[in-house]
Amino acid sequence: MMTNKQGQPPFENENGIHTAFDENMTYGEYLQLDQVLGAQKRLSGHHDEMLFIIIHQVSELWMKLILHEIQSSIAAIEADDLSTAQKCLSRVTKTQSQIIQAWDVLSTLTPSEYIEFRPFLGQASGFQSYQYRMIEFALGYKTPHVLKIYQKDADLKEELLKSYAAKSLYDVSIHCLQRNGLTIDETILCRDVEDTYEYNESVKEAWKSVYLNNEKYWELYELAEKLVDIEDSFQQWRFRHMKTVERIIGFKKGTGGSSGVGYLKKVIDQQFFPELWMIRTEL
């Protein structure tokens, strides 16, 4: 038992610590830990399935926070409150770093260990993560065919359709450029936000002006860098995902039916904010 210099346990000197909770809420009750910690149901009983479940559950919790912050940043940008948006987006990037590091923990799972419980997953796959899809939608990558995966749950499908039909983080950022006097093509300002965003020359020139006149457009300049941070981290996450999958299952098909590593390699090259990367060559 740890004691202080007087030989007493530190707890005994803390007279103000609450110990009676018959009528008060506890830490565990506030966090609903009975539900959170009771949600790890191994189907195989294999020791390493616990690791697999926890990594994915923790990642989904972090994704919930990412969505919360992105949605708040979208509302802030629409209200021209760029300082609040930047704070939210900085938190997104910090959260992304936690998800990236989670792959290091999962990579301790070896191929021989994974094959012991992989059959119990059936067709369940991270490919079906609806929060991941909502993050893609919020960043401007809209793929209607993935919505078919969620036909089973009508409420979830409705939530996804709302996310799909909403303006993305980049859409509202581009409109913010226009409100600050930068020229944006009308076709972009009036574009169908249910389509995946594609490169536009006027948007590139607007961002280029922001970077070349960063003192004049300081808040937009800071916003641009926050967007680059998010995409950079997202691509790092995708790369670590791909390498972890390759390390554990090689080039087998994914449980959800995708080509596995082959599919993950393709999405690494997808860009959300193409103009912000293009101008780096031109500046």
Q: What is the pLDDT of residue 96?
A: 98
Residue 57 lies in a domain: yes
Give every CB contact of residue 224 below 8 A, 6+ residues apart in sequence.
Answer: 207, 210, 211, 276
279 has binding-site annotation:
no
Q: Which helix (H) or strand (E) holds 168?
A: none
C-alpha distances in angstroms, 251 versus 237, 239, 259, 265?
19, 15, 8, 11
53 has binding-site annotation:
yes
Tell me which residue range forms the domain holding 265: 46-280
pLDDT in tens, the chain (283 residues): 555 556 666 666 677 777 777 878 999 999 999 999 999 999 999 999 999 999 999 999 999 999 999 999 999 999 999 999 999 999 999 999 999 999 999 999 999 999 999 999 998 888 889 999 999 999 999 988 889 889 889 999 999 999 999 999 999 999 999 999 999 999 999 999 999 999 999 999 999 999 999 999 999 999 999 999 999 999 999 999 999 999 998 988 877 777 788 888 888 888 999 999 999 999 9
Give every CB contact of residue 198 below 8 A, 6+ residues apart in sequence.
Answer: 274
In this predicted model, what pLDDT tens digit does every residue of 216-247 receive, in sequence order? 999 999 999 999 999 999 999 999 999 999 99
18 has binding-site annotation:
no
Residue 39 lies in a domain: no
74 has binding-site annotation:
no
Residue whose structure tokens are 């409705």 = 158
54 has binding-site annotation:
yes
The domain tally of the chain equals 1
Q: What is the pLDDT of residue 32?
A: 96
118 has binding-site annotation:
yes
Domain CATH code at residue 194: 1.20.58.480
In this predicted model, what pLDDT tens digit does every residue of 270-283 receive, in sequence order? 899 999 999 999 99
Residue 233 lies in a domain: yes
Residue 17 lies in a domain: no
Q: Are 208 and 177 in contact (CB under 8 A)?
A: no
Q: What is the pLDDT of residue 202?
A: 98
> Length of the chain, please?
283
C-alpha torsion sign, points 268, 273, 274, 280: negative
Residue 4 lies in a domain: no
Q: What is the pLDDT of residue 257?
A: 76
C-alpha torsion sign, points 164, 165, 171, 173: negative
pTM of the entire predicted model: 0.91
52 has binding-site annotation:
yes
Count CB-CB contacts under 10 A for residue 245: 21
Residue 161 lies in a domain: yes
56 has binding-site annotation:
yes
Residue 26 lies in a domain: no
Q: Are 83 and 223 in contact (CB under 8 A)?
A: no
Q: Are 60 and 131 in contact (CB under 8 A)?
A: yes
Q: Are 141 and 70 in contact (CB under 8 A)?
A: no
241 has binding-site annotation:
yes
